Amino acid sequence: MNALEVRAALALALVYVLRMMGLFMVMPVLAVAAMDYPDYSPLLVGLAIGGYGLTQAALQIPMGMMSDRWGRKPVILLGLCIFAAGSFIAASADSMVMMIAGRILQGAGAIAGAIMALATDVSRETQRAKVMAVIGIAIGFSFYLAVLVGPLIAQNWGLSGVFGVTGVLAICCMPLVKWVVPDVSISASGDTLPHVSEIKSLFVSPQLWRLNISVMALHMMITLLFVQLPITLTQFDMTLESHWTIYLPVLAVSIIGLIVLMGISRGQTPKSVVITAAALMMTAFLMLNMQDHHMWVVFAAVILFFTGFNYLEASLPALVSTIAPAGQKGSAMGIYASFQFFGAFLGGVLSGVVTDIWTPKTAYLAGAIGACVWMVILFGLKEVMKLKRLSMQVSFDKVDPAVLETELHKLEGVHEVVASREESAVYLKITKAFDTSAARALLAKYA
């Protein structure tokens, strides 16, 4: 990467870290800290933890498309302002209902798609994967850091302090976006942002809907876990500020488990390993449901859960990217992200309703049943060939898109190609045998 790409990648990664930390910090503390509110109830706790997911799911695709029309930075800055406003409303809340309103407003700052599109705009084709990898690592890091730091902030400044810090972090992101990330023209976005015309066909794709349901189930379970787990830990006489002593070793051991699963996968994402990861999460919920005040059972269960969660969180987007048609990855990922955030909302509601009607342990059982149904769905997933994606700018003044598609299909290693006159671009799915220089030479004939 050149200096401009390094600067952009680090700045956007930091924006993601600060923003996602704000969303995640509240998860390990809210279930316990919210007991101080006069209108506390398990259902309202579930809505407070998962509420942001409802507006994130609804606005993820529209805000991504808005960034194509208004520009990336204005939409990202608008989203950060909305997110900060929601954070400060939640920080000043004196009731659960007010806090939930703040959380829902936080979710309305749905800028994930616009950030990824901006990362595409500021990077060359050959370096784009590296830029995305830096941002991906930052997202994972933000989750781990938030789980550890959230309880400590809550101990010193309470739940309002967690939300207040979240709002300040969002404000700190704004100068990074405005002045540190380079200003560039908007590039072709078919593999980055969603297009309305493609939504319907991708929504019913036999393989993609299974992955969409999978990420919904995945985030339903992580939300359900964090509605219940902090309360479970307090039953072992653990104060909120000491919960990090459980989370830190759990996350460390689960990363080792992730490495093992990645090694078994050997760079691919085989269906058997995906199902195994889901089975680990189901087993974890069963153990949490059946544990009879044994700390070692809780500890082992959470390790199993995060081993499966970490693997699927990293692997499912790669499967979506591989399966989505050329030039339609942006639409496929937009639908995927909407299901992901809706899963967070669903997990909060499910946990709250089940706990209200039955018991917290029953919520763990509901998670296990959900994982079992999910595994049945995963059995219909097909093994896929690992392909890379490439987009190239081209002028169609001298060539018809259909003719160019035919010519590119003749090149070795081309699995799929779509030419878009509207975006002045061609989108390809390719194997390792593909020769980029041969494709550039072909496009140069029509320049």
Helical axes 295-323 vs 208-234, angle rounded to 10°: 160
What average pLDDT does range 159-169 have in this prediction? 94
pLDDT in the model for residue 64? 87
Q: What are phi and psi of 109, to 5 degrees?
A: -85, 60
pTM of the predicted structure, to 2 decimals: 0.91
CA angle at residue 218 from 213 to 220, to 5 degrees? 90
pLDDT band at 183 (very low <50, low <70, confident <90, very high): confident
Give the model's pLDDT for residue 188.
58
> Which stretch of DSSP H or E encloses residue 443?
helix 436-444
Mean pLDDT, the chain, whole residue set: 90
Share of the chain above pLDDT 70, in %: 98
**pLDDT computed for residue 396 by the predictor:** 84
Residue 429 pLDDT class (50, 70, 90 cuts): very high
Measure the CA–CA gap between 382 and 206, rounded to whole angstroms.
Answer: 10
Assign 187 a pLDDT band (cuts: 50, 70, 90): low
Under DSSP, the state recorded for 268 is S
Which domains are present in the chain? 1-189 (1.20.1250.20), 197-385 (1.20.1250.20), 388-444 (3.30.70.100)
**Per-residue pLDDT averaged across 159-172, rounded?**
94
What is the predicted pLDDT for the residue at 189?
65
Angle between helices 112-121 and 128-175 (to 10 degrees): 120
Question: What is the model's pLDDT at position 98?
Answer: 97
DSSP string of 320-382, one letter each residue: HHHHSPTT-HHHHHHHHHHHHHHHHHHHHHHHHHHHHHS-HHHHHHHHHHHHHHHHHHHTTPP
> 80-112, pLDDT tens digit by residue?
999 999 999 999 999 999 999 999 999 999 998
For the chain, how far is it from start to end, CA to CA, in angstroms? 27
